[in-house]
Amino acid sequence: MPESRSTVKLAESIAELKSAEPPSHIAIIMDGNGRWAQQRDLPRIEGHRRGVNTVRMVSETATELDIDTITLYCLSSENWKRPKAELDFLMHLLEQYLIEERKTIMEQGLRLQVIGRQDRLPSEVLKQMKQTIEMSAGNPGTRLVLAVDYGGRDEITSAVRDMATKVASGSLSVDQIDENTVSQHLYTAGLPEVDLMIRTGGDMRVSNFLLWQLSYAEIWITEKCWPEFSKQDFVSALCEFSSRQRRFGGLNVNE
């Protein structure tokens, strides 16, 4: 059976991306799980469950395209305001993901990392998180970073507190504090700068996500909710990124 036009187009787009310079670090706000479910008269938790398939697709595609780092906004510090039943399910889903995806993580050579607070996470989630991180630490492929109980303002506040403590102890002087110093005290220390931020669900905001790191990131937003975000959508975002001119506050030669 002949390949469909969409399949051929996707293959062509991927081939073009492989010959271009990919973004080093893609950050994704995975929004719209609950709305997707409610639009289909399903419980909100079903949207979160279906969203795991999209996570798998994104990590597979990132591996295929040699993307260095993918950071996924899994749970914000504000999400604790949600109903307890939904939060309990999200914790269960995270624990399940950390266990069931180990084989895929190892096959794809992914390196799992987690950023955010850990003092409010269940002990069993932390146990499975630690095991999966340690198991994948030596893998050579894409870094898959999960932002769990993460808030950008909280991250920056924590970095300021750490630097203030060092100044008070004499191990860091005020004159030594520059942008690089701040970056080294963030959860993302050692990761490349974010080049592209993708948001599903249509909202036009960054929602307290990687506030420092998104300073010069390109932004791509789709109305599609996370469970329906396809490989074609992901590739389309990368293709648009590759076509944009990034000035970083300067001018292009011809301007």
Q: Which residues are catalytic?
A: 31, 79
Interacting residues of 114 by C-beta distance below 8 A, sequence separation 6+: 129, 133, 145, 146, 147, 148
Residues 81 and 98: their CA atoms lie apart, in Å, by 24
- Measured in residues, the chain has a length of 255
Can you read off the two tokens belonging to residue 211? 């506030």
The rounded radius of gyration (Å) of the Cα atoms in the chain is 19
Residues 175 and 161: their CA atoms lie apart, in Å, by 16
Neighbours of 209 (CB within 10 A): 22
Contact 42, 224 (CB under 8 A): no
What is the phi/psi pair of residue 162, to 5°?
-65, -45
Amino acid at 75: L
Residues 154 and 90: their CA atoms lie apart, in Å, by 21
Residues 235 and 240: their CA atoms lie apart, in Å, by 9
> Which residue matches tokens 């630097």?
163
Q: Looking at 4-122, list the stretches that DSSP marks H as alpha helix, in order from N- to C-terminal side.
A: 5-19, 33-39, 44-64, 84-100, 102-108
Can you read off the two tokens belonging to residue 111? 């390196």
